[in-house]
Chains A and B, each alone.
Chain A
Amino acid sequence: MEVTLLLEATENAFRIMEKARVHALGVLDTAVQFTGEQTRFLEEKRWELLFAGAQRRKTRFQNFVGTTLILFAFWILLSGQFDAFHLTLGAVCCTVAAYLFHDLLFANVRVGDMRVIAARFIAYIPWLIQQIVLSNLHVASVVLRPKMPIDPQIVTFKTKLETDISSVTLANSITLTPGTITMDIKDGVYYVHALDQKVADDLNAGEMEDRVAHIFMEADHLYVQDVLDAARIYDVLRA
């Protein structure tokens, strides 16, 4: 009787020990898995950091080279002397200046957009000159009339431009156009002084803003150019 009891007790004890072992193994397994994940996560993070660092260094180097080239072109424009001594001086000066200020010229510019932006900006200039001439004539006709029908007012409008460079391009375009002066930009709201109602209406039509947004590729709706392109396609389809 006692013997069977004892046997049962030992059996129970063994069963419990077995259970405990399985349990412990499970815990260990989880721990190993967890540490494995942890190390993998850390490894990934390390690679990511390395990659980001390399990317940043690459961007910085590109900015440095770009700034140096632009500054060297500016130096040659200023200097106008092409002997080796002055060119070397220029190269040294431009490298020093670019090393000190490589982060200023291309801040907030997405990499890869530069060429498109430059091309569109150059295409924008003739339109701007045309606008300047037109509004010059308008302002001249207004102020030369004996009654001088001016109606000074301050126009405010919220811009959809996002980057600082596009806001500044629009502000300076507005100021360059006679009859309107950008007084301030605060939190994306322009405060523009306009000479009379027609100028203010032109401003509120927002064509200039659309074109500036088009230059800097901040497209969120159809632009004039796109509509023109689409019209051509429709003509082809209709024919």
Chain B
Amino acid sequence: MIRDSQDVIVKTLARLLMPFIIVYALYVVMHGHHSPGGGFQGGVILAAGFVLLGISYGLGETRKRMSEKVAGVISSIGVFIYAGIGALCLILGGNYLDYGKLSKVLRVTPAQARSLGILGVEIGVALAVMAVMFTIFFVIFTVGESLEDDRSGK
């Protein structure tokens, strides 16, 4: 269990950097289809932001912003977005993740539909990766906590 850090430098800088980390991660996700980066990288940076918050302000403060339950829901939503876009292409008569077919739904040219489709898939991937990384972090760092609870329960 990580408790509130006593180090004022780490805490203050984590507090100041946190919004910028999130916006940088979102930038990496949103520009993934025409510059380096993408869903996986952006998702990991997002999760790293939350991990920074967790190790500087303690898990209790982090739980107020995102709990394990919310992380589970978000990971499912991410996978759903990814699989849903793929399946939509399948329904529209193309192959799985054949974004060109989305042009009928989005009313744009197939080239633009490809761009938008991969953007949607990347958002889904980023959400899933962020939530799963966050869950892994939480599970690893709360192992001792449940043991302590068991011991105090006895």
- A, B in one complex: yes
A181 to chain B, nearest CB (A): 12
Choice from B8, B19, B65 contacting A167 with Cβ under 8 Å: B8
Partner of A104, one of B7, B9, B15, B31: B15
Nearest CB in chain B: distance from A116 CB, A? 19
Docked Cα-Cα span, A186 to B15, in Å, equals: 19
Within the assembled complex, what's the spacing in Å between the Cα atoms of A172 and B8?
12
Asked if B13 is at the interface (CB within 8 A of a chain A CB), the reply is: yes
B1-28 vs A: 1/0 string, CB under 8 Å? 0000011110111011011101110110
Evaluate contact between B31 and A71: CB separation under 8 angstroms. Answer: no
Query: Is B30 at the interface (CB under 8 A from chain A)?
Result: yes
Shortest Cβ distance from A98 into B: residue: B19
Q: Is the CB of A184 within 8 A of B7?
A: yes
Residues of B within 8 A of A100 (CB): 22, 65
Asked whether any CB of chain B lies closer than 8 Å to the CB of A67, the reply is: yes
Q: Which residues from B are CB-within-8-Å of A164? A: 8, 11-12
Identify whether the interface residues of B are mostly helix, strand, loop, or mixed.
Answer: helix
CB <8 Å contact, A67 and B19: yes
Which residues from B are CB-within-8-Å of A93? Answer: 23, 26-27, 30
Q: How far is the CB of A56 from chain B (nearest CB, A)?
A: 17
Given contacts A78-B27, A93-B26, A93-B27, contact A168 B9 (CB under 8 A): yes
Of A70, A98, A185, which contacts B7 at CB under 8 A?
A185
The answer on a CB contact under 8 Å between A101 and B9 is: no
Instruction: Tell me which residues across on chain B come within 8 A of A172, comparing CB atoms.
Output: 9
Tell me, in angstroms, the Cα distance from A189 to B7 when the chains sit together.
12
The CA-CA distance from A181 to B7 in the complex, in Å, is 15
Interface string of A105-121 (1 = CB under 8 A from B): 10100000000000000
* Neighbouring B residues of A184 by C-beta, 8 Å: 7
A75 within 8 A of B: yes
Q: How far is the CA of A2 from the CA of B65 in the complex (A)?
A: 91
Q: Cβ of A130 < 8 Å from any Cβ of B?
A: no
In the complex, how many angstroms separate the beta carbon of B38 from the nearest chain A beta carbon?
15
Mark contacts of A83-105 with chain B using CB atoms, 8 A cut-off: 1 yes-contact digit, 0 otherwise. 00010011001101110110011
- Tell me, yes or no, whether A14 is within 8 Å of chain B by CB: no
Residues in A whose Cβ lies below 8 Å from that of B24: 74, 78
> B28-42 CB contact bits vs A (8 Å, 1 = yes)?
001100000000000
Q: Are B9 and A71 within 8 A (Cβ)?
A: no
Mask: chain A, 153-182; 1 = CB below 8 Å from B; 0 = not = 000000000001101100110000000001
Docked Cα-Cα span, A168 to B27, in Å, equals: 28
A79 at the interface (CB under 8 A from B): yes
Task: Enumerate 26 A-B pairs (CB-CB under 8 Å) in ascending A order.
Answer: A70-B19, A71-B19, A74-B20, A75-B27, A86-B31, A90-B27, A90-B30, A93-B23, A93-B26, A93-B27, A96-B26, A97-B19, A97-B23, A98-B19, A100-B65, A101-B18, A101-B22, A104-B19, A105-B16, A105-B19, A164-B8, A167-B9, A168-B9, A168-B12, A168-B13, A171-B9
Which 8 pairs between the two chains have the least Cβ-Cβ distance?
A93-B26, A97-B22, A168-B12, A101-B19, A164-B12, A78-B27, A104-B15, A71-B23
